[in-house]
Amino acid sequence: MTSSKLSRCFPLVKLPNRYYDPRLLKSRKWSPWHFPSRKRHIFIGIAFDWILIIIMFAVTDWLFKNPQPPIAYFSVNDVSLKAPDLKETVSSTVATIINTVVPGIIMILLELIFFYDHWDLYHMITGHLTSIGLALFFTSLGWVTIGSQLGLRPSFLTKCQPDMSQVNANVTQTYFTNEICTNKLDKIEYQGFPSGHSATAYAGWVFFVMYINGKSKPWTGGAHFWKILLLLFPLYFATWISLTRVMDYRHFSFQIIIGGLIGISTALISYRLHFGNNSWFLGTGDGTDNIPGHYKYLEDWDSIDDRDEVTNVSDNNRDLEMGLNETGNRNTDGRTINKKNEGNEVDNRTTDEELTST
């Protein structure tokens, strides 16, 4: 009941029906490993997804706070570890808000204004959180399993202030551990690999870009340059956040590159998981990159057989956008198609009569 009331109120700006037409979907094959069954137990599957998401965030929090990173060995003569201790341009708290909350709010507003569908809204929120959660999980996993000297930050020796008397007493020893540090350092100082700022920046904003790409469809030949700017600006923003970590001597370049690759990978995986279709990257406009195909499909399960092949209607949609309604018309009553067929039949009969009289 609540869903139907919301459907009457949203979206605020109505888009063409092809944005929400499940008949545009191609056939989908079911795997015997689908558990819980998304065909008969949709909400059990949803609950199972959220339980896994909550567990993932809980494990990430535990990895961040408890296990110690591997022992790091360093040379007191390593100039790359003697960078100044500068103030952060973007703190961890601010980065969390910028990379998680801001894109999430923008996508929710776009849903309510233009694209509202309760399954689309659900998958957008779940996919966004999945992208961020996976990025944080693999980042924290790298902190406690790889870490060591790869996790040291450019300002490590500046903060460590090694006891040179211990160094001079071991003239044959080149590498030392944090036992020679006169300042007790926090655990975070050894957790520079990979960069958490970079991972969450790309995880949040690349998913946002994929979402905007699927909705705006900039690759359909319309040459809408403003749509490309909508896709490029968030990517530049994520890159800027990552590069501030190098500018502030909080990370080395390779640390933010690996973090960025993690974020990009989790964003693409999450988007493909929740908005899967055959043209998920370029969003060519066959309908399935707007609304999550799987659940829209289930809503019309009784009227659509997943074993039936549905023709690709990308060209039809493209023609509709260009105003060529004759080519792209997909009226359900089939009146337009019948008229064309009747016209063909008349032409055929005329031709047969001419041949007979001849």
- What's the pLDDT tens digit per position in 155-180? 998 999 888 888 888 878 888 888 88
Amino acid symbol at 140: S
Q: How does DSSP assign 130-143, residue by residue?
A: HHHHHHHHHHHHHH
Q: In 3-state terms, what secondary structure has residue 115? A: helix
Separation between Cα atoms, residue 11 and residue 116, nearest integer Å: 5
- pLDDT (tens digit, 9 = 90+) per residue, 103-115? 999 999 988 888 7
Confidence band of 234 (pLDDT split at 50, 70, 90): very high
Q: In 3-state terms, what secondary structure has residue 245? A: helix
- pLDDT (tens digit, 9 = 90+) per residue, 64-76? 888 888 888 888 8
Confidence band of 340 (pLDDT split at 50, 70, 90): very low
pLDDT surpassing 90 at residue 309 = no
In the chain, what percentage of residues exceed pLDDT 90? 32
Q: What are the residue ranges of helices labelled H in the chain?
A: 2-9, 42-65, 92-96, 102-110, 118-145, 156-160, 164-169, 196-216, 225-247, 253-274, 293-299, 314-321, 325-328, 335-357
Show Cβ contacts of residue 36 under 8 Å, excluding neighbours closer than 6 positions: 44, 45, 48
Confidence band of 273 (pLDDT split at 50, 70, 90): confident
Q: Max Cα separation, the chain? A: 117
**What is the mean pLDDT of the segment spanning 199-206?**
96
- pLDDT (tens digit, 9 = 90+) per residue, 19-61? 555 554 444 455 555 656 666 677 788 888 899 999 999 999 9
Q: How does DSSP assign 168-222, residue by residue?
A: HHTTT---B-GGGBSSPPPGGGG--SS-HHHHHHHHHHHHHHHHHHHHH-TTSS-
Q: Where are the domains of the chain?
A: 16-294
Average pLDDT, the chain: 76
pLDDT surpassing 60 at residue 310 = no
**What is the mean pLDDT of the segment spanning 326-346?**
44
In the chain, what percentage of residues exceed pLDDT 70? 68
The pair of structure tokens assigned to 206 is 């690349």
The pair of structure tokens assigned to 29 is 């094959």
Local structure of residue 282 (DSSP, 8 states):
T
pLDDT surpassing 70 at residue 62 = yes
Q: In 3-state terms, what secondary structure has residue 162? A: strand
The pair of structure tokens assigned to 192 is 């520079």
Least confident of 47-51, 147-151, 351-355: 351-355
State residue 114's pLDDT score. 83
Show Cβ contacts of residue 106 under 8 Å, excluding neighbours closer than 6 positions: 208
State residue 42's pLDDT score. 75
What b-and-e string marks burial along 19-38, b requiring 16 or more CB atoms within 10 Å of the CB? bbbbebbbeeeeeeeeeeeb
pLDDT surpassing 50 at residue 182 = yes
